[in-house]
Amino acid sequence: MIKLTSRKQAASYHIQRYSISERTACRLLSVSRTAFRYQPEPGFDDLLHSRLKELASRQLAYGYLLLHGILKAEGLVVNKKRTYRIYTEEELQIRIRKRKKLHRARQPILLADNKALVFWIS
């Protein structure tokens, strides 16, 4: 299967080269006319990347969900998945530290005296 972008390019080539209509070219190459006319809008990822880095460096303990809430309040994002994608691309994951184990010297276990046992039984 040919990618949509290459089919769109092929359709525009056929329109210019053979002077056929957009409708005919799209039908021949199996491209919907709305997909042929679609122009993607440039994203605001650069601004989002820099703002997310800045917030993550200031708030070290915040994960992507808390940072997403801040960005949403600022009006930069709507989708959590997009925030998570950028968060992982920038390698901003919170590092979970390994717990330090407390090392103590071993002490012998003290056994109960027989006298104390006789006292409690009687």
Range of the domain at 22: 4-37
Structure tokens at 24: 């005919």
CB contact set of 62 (below 8 Å; sequence gap of 6+): 55, 56, 70, 94
Residue 120 has pLDDT above 90, yes or no: no
Q: How many CA atoms are closer than 13 Å to the CA of 87, on its beta-carbon side?
A: 20
pLDDT tens for each residue of 19-44:
999 999 999 999 999 999 998 877 77
Do 28 and 55 lie in one domain? The reply is: no
Instruction: For residues 50 and 112, give the distance between their C-alpha atoms in angstroms, rounded to a whole number.
Output: 66
The count of structural domains within the chain is 2
Give the tens place of pLDDT for each residue, 63-100: 899 999 999 999 988 899 999 999 988 888 876 678 88
Q: Name the band, by pLDDT with cuts 50, 70 and 90, for residue 114.
A: low
Same domain, 54 and 27: no
Q: Domain check: are 54 and 25 in the same one?
A: no
pTM for the model stands at 0.48
The average pLDDT across 50-60 equals: 90
Please report whether residue 122 resides in a domain.
no
Same domain, 30 and 55: no
Q: How many CB atoms lie within 10 A of CB 52?
A: 24
> Would residue 107 count as lying in a domain?
no
